[in-house]
């Protein structure tokens, strides 16, 4: 297989989306958070992105791994490994006390400790648990969640609804949670010095997220994109469009959060 570092399609794709990624990574939202109350506002919105990431991951798990009881091995072994590893890490990590917890649950714990409002996201998830159709919850905002957060989720649901695995993989790979820069983690840790009893769980979440993401999953995700698209020019065009779509949705969410801080 062609070396991913010399794959002109991946190089071209990264070049095209790089300005948007840099705009997100350098967003003034991060430096504007200088108090605990401002971090709370961020968390109350960002929790939806944490949940939304699982929607992309689960869609890929359905497409790229065998989840039927009559099991058969899927063809793309590296993508299967990537998705299963991330599912395990995201759904079955450990909290500060060593107890099993998903990253969504870790984030909820961090919100509670920080004094951030958790009722809206809990109500959103409860509606899903009660059997409400996800598309209806999002479309009509049955859970009465923040509309900016719902718009972000709607953008992801559009990509998933189209049912094209390479597009879902693009949103997952290029619009995922590594868009939170080191600068933000450093800022939170500085605030932690003044608010250790409120932010220790959030610092743990951020550190755990970085630790698990590591250096391996990034290259594996790029290989997944490569394997899904191969030499299909149409698929590469759709991957670019889906990547831009996901990044623009994230940028809009960041803009809206910044306007509320």
Type and span of the H or E element at 101: strand 100-101
Alpha-carbon distance 190 to 34, whole Å? 9
CATH of domain 4-260: 1.20.910.10
Q: What is the rounded CA–CA span in Å between residue 103 and residue 91?
A: 7
pLDDT of residue 38: 95
Q: Quote the percentage of the chain above a pLDDT of 70.
A: 93
Q: Is 4 helix (H, G, I), strand (E, B) or coil?
A: helix
Predicted local distance difference test score (pLDDT) of residue 219: 80
Confidence (pLDDT) at 158: 95
Question: Could you write out the DSSP letters of every residue in 147-175?
Answer: HHHHHHHHHHHHHHHHT-HHHHHHHHHHS
**Dist CA 62 CA 73 (whole Å):** 13
Residue 5 CB contacts under 8 Å (≥ 6 apart), including other chains? none
Q: According to the model, what pLDDT value does residue 6 have?
A: 54
pLDDT for the residue numbered 218: 76
pLDDT of residue 23: 93
- pLDDT of 233 over the 70 cut: yes
Enter the pTM of the model.
0.91
Separation of alpha carbons 165 and 225, rounded Å: 9
Q: What is the pLDDT of residue 239?
A: 97
DSSP state of 183: H
What is the distance between the alpha carbons of residues 22 and 36, in angstroms, rounded to a whole number? 26
Instruction: Look at residues 3, 9, 5, 25 and name the one whose alpha carbon lies nearest to residue 175.
Output: 25
Mean pLDDT of 24-34: 90
**Domain positions in the chain:** 4-260
Model confidence pLDDT, tens digit, residues 50-99: 999 999 999 999 999 999 899 999 999 989 998 999 899 889 999 999 99
- What is the predicted pLDDT for the residue at 132? 76
In this model, does residue 1 exceed pLDDT 60?
Answer: no
Nearest CA among 260, 261, 258 for reference residue 23: 258
The total number of residues written for the chain in this structure: 261
């Amino acid at each position: 297989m062609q070396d991913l570092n010399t794959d002109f399609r991946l190089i071209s794709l990264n070049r095209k989306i790089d300005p948007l990624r840099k705009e997100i990574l350098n967003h003034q939202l991060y430096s504007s958070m200088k108090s605990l109350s401002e971090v709370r506002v961020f968390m109350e919105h960002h929790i939806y992105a944490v949940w939304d990431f699982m929607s992309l991951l689960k869609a890929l798990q359905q497409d790229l791994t065998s989840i039927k009881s009559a099991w058969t091995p899927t063809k793309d072994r590296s993508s299967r490994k990537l998705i299963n590893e991330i599912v395990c890490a995201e759904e079955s990590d450990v909290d500060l006390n060593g107890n099993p917890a998903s990253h969504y649950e870790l984030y909820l714990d961090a919100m509670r400790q920080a004094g951030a409002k958790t009722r809206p996201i809990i109500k959103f998830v409860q509606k899903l648990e009660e059997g409400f159709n996800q598309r209806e919850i999002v479309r009509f905002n049955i859970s009465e969640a923040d509309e900016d957060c719902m718009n972000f989720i709607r953008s992801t649901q559009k990509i998933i609804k189209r049912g094209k695995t390479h597009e879902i993989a693009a949103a997952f790979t290029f619009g995922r949670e590594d868009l939170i820069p080191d600068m933000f983690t450093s800022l939170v840790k500085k605030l932690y010095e003044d608010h250790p009893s409120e932010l220790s769980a959030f610092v743990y979440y951020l550190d755990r997220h970085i630790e698990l993401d590591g250096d391996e999953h990034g290259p594996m995700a790029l290989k997944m994109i490569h394997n899904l698209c191969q030499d299909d020019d149409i698929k590469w065009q759709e991957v670019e469009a889906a990547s831009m779509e996901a990044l623009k949705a994230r940028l809009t969410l960041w803009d809206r959060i910044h306007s509320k801080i």
